[in-house]
Amino acid sequence: MKLIFLGPPGAGKGSLAVRVVDLLGVPQISTGEILRSAVAAQTPLGIKAKAIMDAGELVDDGTIIELVKERLEQPDAQKGYILDGFPRTIPQAKALAEFSAVDKVVNFDVPDNILLERLGGRRVCRMCNFNFHAVSLKPKVEGVCDHCGGEVYIRDDDMPEAIQKRLEVYRAKTEPLISFYREQGVVVDITAQNTVDEVVELFKKVMGL
């Protein structure tokens, strides 16, 4: 099953993706993961992307699209995938359609006040990227990851001003994708303000699993 997870920052896309990976037996693929893997493997595209990032620039659409295409050609993605963080714009979505047809686009619907609460309390392990929360999921030892012992910190983009900016960018650039895909009849909506377990059950229901 080929899925795109769409929703604002803090909607819980990554948390659900971790569970769905086991449920469906397909990989979760994010642009961040693709970039890190390509750079580490020193593929031609990875070398190109690293040069762009080392120069302090944003990786351009063309390079990101080629990286996604390259990743989707790998053996583990042949049965399907979960795209999280791509596409971000309608031009990216149109480019994706040229080399892979998605089955469903899962739209995460969460009120802004819940998003702000989640993002404002998010704490992330610097080593394994596990997400904690200052209120609902504290590490057993303050500042230390339960899973790998790495440092748990607050990301710069989880600061209040950055959160507002991220939401503004999402509304302007990424939210139009919902209408774009809804016109194609592939959008399923999930109310994602509940616990991860409840969201998993809702996901299974709307997907007919």
Catalytically annotated residue among 2, 13, 71, 118: 13
- What's the total number of domains in the chain? 1
Q: Is residue 72 part of a domain?
A: no
Which tokens is 69 given?
């295409």
Predicted confidence at residue 33, as pLDDT, reads 80
In a domain, 39, yes or no: no
Tell me, yes or no, if 69 is annotated catalytic.
no
Q: Give the pLDDT score at 189.
A: 92
Residue 15 lies in a domain: yes
Binning pLDDT at 50, 70 and 90, where does residue 129 land? confident
Q: What is the reported pLDDT for 105? A: 96
pLDDT, tens only, 133-169: 888 789 999 999 999 999 999 888 788 888 888 788 7
Q: Which of 48, 50, 88, 138 is catalytic?
A: 88
Q: Does the active-site annotation cover 122?
A: yes
> What are the structure tokens assigned to 103, written together?
């089955």
pLDDT at residue 69 is higher than 80: yes
Task: Look at residue 73 and tell me if it is in a domain.
Answer: no
pLDDT in tens, 30-47: 887 888 888 888 888 888
What mean pLDDT, rounded, does the chain reach? 88
Residue 61 inside a domain? The answer is no
* CATH code for position 17: 3.40.50.300
Q: Do 70 and 38 meet the contact criterion of CB atoms below 8 Å apart?
A: yes
Domain hosting 118: range is 2-26+79-207
Q: Is 115 within a domain?
A: yes
Residue 166 designated active-site: yes
